Amino acid sequence: MARCEELEAILQAQFDLEYAEPGDLPERLSRLNFLLDEVIAGTSLTRLDLLSALRDRYKEYKRGQLLAEARRRTV
């Protein structure tokens, strides 16, 4: 998986977790943790380190996803 695809997958997994139904939370968290672990394997980074580094990108991603959803609902 290319780096930008990994980034996109992590951002999507984080978004999916944030907006998951309560029954889906364990599966969504597991998916996010799996993706984070793939990226940090062989480094001294933690999941929290990576999520912190991606905080601003996630905010932009989330905003884009919510705007796209709002556009779909008004069309």
Task: Please state, in angstroms and rounded to a whole number, the distance separating the CA atoms of residues 2 and 66.
Answer: 25
Q: What residues of the chain score a pLDDT lower than 70?
A: 1-3
Say if CB 30 and CB 38 are below 8 A apart. Answer: no
Q: Which two tokens stand for residue 10?
A: 């992590």
C-alpha 10/C-alpha 38 separation (Å) is: 10
pLDDT at 48: 98
Give the residue extent of every domain in the chain: 3-74
**Looking at residue 74, what is its pLDDT?**
86
pLDDT at 71: 93
Quick one: pLDDT at residue 45?
97
- Nearest Cα neighbor of 39 from 8, 70, 75 is 8
pLDDT of residue 25: 98
Q: Mark out the alpha helices in 1-75 (DSSP H runs).
A: 3-18, 25-40, 47-53, 55-74
